[in-house]
Chain A
Amino acid sequence: MTAGRFGRFGGMYVPEILVPALEQLERAFAEAEKDPSFQAELAGLLRDYAGRPTPLYLCRNLVQGTPVSLYLKREDLLHGGAHKTNQVLGQALLARRMGKTRLIAETGAGQHGVATALAGALLKLPVRVYMGKKDVERQKQNVFRMELMGAEVVPVATGGATLKDAINEAMRDWSASYTTTHYLLGTAAGPHPFPTIVREFQRVIGKEARAQVLEQAGRLPDIVAACVGGGSNAIGMFADFIGDASVALVGVEAAGKGLDSGLHGATLARGRVGVLHGAETLVLQDEDGQIAETHSISAGLDYPGVGPEHAHLASIGRVRYEGVTDDAALQAFQALARSEGILPAFESAHALAWAMAYAKNASKPGVLVVNLSGRGDKDVERARALIAGESR
């Protein structure tokens, strides 16, 4: 019963019919971890196809005048435009190993959908991506990218028509199709074994960053920060630093229009223990247990649940979770563009905004590493409208 638990959190809360598929995945992953040919194929794809290792870049201008050295882990430079590709390649190879002939996925901002679409094209597996109707409208460019790579994008109109609803629909599909289909879940949430598999395939981010910062700064960082929606880029960034007691870990959630506005995605700050999408975790919900509708400028952080390992890391105090508003994220998005010539994804801009505020108030030297989890091309049109005041 402890398999797949992080303290009290996690577990496999799915309809009985899906349990064999999850147990098959658990076995396939355990075997693949010990299989040198699997590891070699994945490492080769990560290097030659996806472009690993990604750089660690010391900002020249962004925090100039503060005592802080700010390093960015450039997952935005990974093929596909975000960290998602790391674990999608891993899971797609697992799907092939299990003999599955079709991939389904959910997507919020569209980055995970794009990553699944490219892996499907690469491995010749047909892909269907469920995406909230609202996200289809606000991420049109990513929808077309997926379609160009041969994926079918299915808009989901139920509920709030965002990421949560897309996951519901993907789970419904899977409960009928599990014999032939792998559900390529895109974040470190969901039922066991997904939170563990996603962390292990994303661990490469922190592993590289740790070695790079040791080489470049000559020491471990004081703080490592990453944004948290479901939590995959953060858990991948944190995993190899958790054992370093001197390194503070900061997860940055979407505070939307403010934590007290009711319009946010700050699950760790404001959630209660519950079950969402297969895991016991913190959940934004009403007093009866109905799941709340969330809000964030970034579709990828617009989610009322969070990976169970983050709930655990919060409960034991190993990671501190902070909130950043839409406005602060948008300012950080512009600041990075102007000062470094880099467009971050709205999601990553949340982590960046927190780091910028920290640097501004810092009184002593410090080394910060922020995971720049994705690039902002997908957000350019929305940023233009927001900056022009069209959505205010």
Chain B
Amino acid sequence: MNRYAQMFDKVRAEGRRGAFIPFFMLGDPDVETSLALLEAAVAAGADALELGIPFSDPVADGPVIQAAAERALGSGVRPSSAFQIVARFRAAHPEVPVGLLVYANLVFGPGVEVFYERTAVAGADSVLVADVPVREGTRFVAAARTAGVSPVFIAPADASPATLRRVAEMSEGYTYCLARSGVTGADDALTLSHDALFQSLREFKAPPPVLGFGIATPAHVRAALDAGAAGAISGSAVVKRVQDHLGDRPAMLRAVGEFVAAMRAATER
């Protein structure tokens, strides 16, 4: 059984309603602080981690995550350093699921097959390529499966049944459901109406649906789980706490830890 399935079982066994998964940009603001942030998040109760490899042109990301990528690139972080952070985290935490969120050109960089092999060697469980929709996904899925990595695809709320069927067939571990359209960002208000989406995904036997994009408060986590999600991902709201405490690492780790703890508490019944 893969780490995601074990994690969702554990969440259920603890009597919680779903998982909380924070997103971090690997190498933001530098390699050592980045690793410390992952440790702080897990210590505060993160059920899994979603980790970005910094890319120069992140078209699916809003300003907060763009800035995080720029900070990491500015401090000299390369994909190889990002994989090293993952490997070091994995060595210390054999059970926490780790997903990578990347852009297609970083996968093409070393070659599609090589990229997925590196992912497996580093110990990450899944890869979502933000600019690879299911209609371009075949070769990425093939390379992922060969390497023993779970491919993850995005399910927009307004996607056609045909698309959702392919998302369900091609995704493993979890299904990344969009809480809203647009790019990543921390929203003040978020309206969730995902009944039809979740029902289609269940019908097509998709892996557990996790909602992301705009999730910024414990109330959003509760709303996501109320709507039927198996978990919630929060990116910009987490990274904003990194950005707000640049130059003061203890305060940064504290702020991120407190935020993760509050978001996780919202998964309790």
Is A306 interfacial (CB 8 A cutoff)? no
Given contacts A159-B57, A176-B181, contact A16 B159 (CB under 8 A): yes
Per the bound structure, the CA–CA distance linking A17 and B105 in Å amounts to: 19
Given contacts A159-B56, A172-B62, A288-B79, contact A16 B155 (CB under 8 A): yes
Q: Write out, one digit per residue, whether chain B residues 152-179 have a CB within 8 A of any chain A CB (1) or not (0).
A: 0111101110010001000000000010
Which of B61, B132, B178 has its CB near the most chain A CB atoms (within 10 A)? B132
Is A285 interfacial (CB 8 A cutoff)? yes
B27 CB → nearest A CB, Å? 12
Q: Write out, one digit per residue, whether chain A residues 262-301 have a CB within 8 A of any chain B CB (1) or not (0).
A: 0000000000011111101001010111110000000000
Among B56, B110, B154, contact of A17 (Cβ-Cβ < 8 Å): B154
A239 CB → nearest B CB, Å? 26
Contact (Cβ within 8 A) B79 A289: yes
Is B136 interfacial (CB 8 A cutoff)? yes
* Cβ contacts under 8 Å, B138 to chain A: 1
Which of A13, A276, A283, A291 has its CB near the most chain B CB atoms (within 10 A)? A13
Q: How many residues of A contact B (CB 8 A)?
A: 35
B50 CB → nearest A CB, Å? 16
Is B78 interfacial (CB 8 A cutoff)? yes
Is A88 interfacial (CB 8 A cutoff)? no
Among B59, B73, B79, B105, contact of A15 (Cβ-Cβ < 8 Å): B59
Contact (Cβ within 8 A) A16 B57: no
* Cβ contacts under 8 Å, A159 to chain B: 56-57
Among B73, B78, B131, B154, contact of A275 (Cβ-Cβ < 8 Å): B131
Among A13, A164, A172, A291, contact of B131 (Cβ-Cβ < 8 Å): A13
* Cβ contacts under 8 Å, B110 to chain A: 288-289
Per the bound structure, the CA–CA distance linking A147 and B111 in Å amounts to: 44
Q: Write out, one digit per residue, whether chain A residues 167-183 have a CB within 8 A of any chain B CB (1) or not (0).
A: 01001100110100000
Among B73, B103, B160, B182, contact of A175 (Cβ-Cβ < 8 Å): B182
Which residue of chain B is the closest to A283 with respect to CB atoms? Answer: B105
Among A12, A14, A176, A287, contact of B109 (Cβ-Cβ < 8 Å): A287
Contact (Cβ within 8 A) B60 A15: yes
Per the bound structure, the CA–CA distance linking A175 and B61 in Å amounts to: 10
Contact (Cβ within 8 A) A291 B159: no
Contact (Cβ within 8 A) A164 B135: no
Which of B59, B78, B131 has its CB near the most chain A CB atoms (within 10 A)? B59
Which chain A residues in 87-120 approach chain B with CB under 8 Å?
none
List the interface of chain B (C-beta within 8 A of A). Answer: 55-62, 66, 70, 73, 78-80, 103-110, 130-136, 138, 153-156, 158-160, 163, 167, 178, 181-183
Q: Which 4 A-B pairs have the closest CB atoms?
A: A289-B109, A176-B182, A275-B104, A16-B133
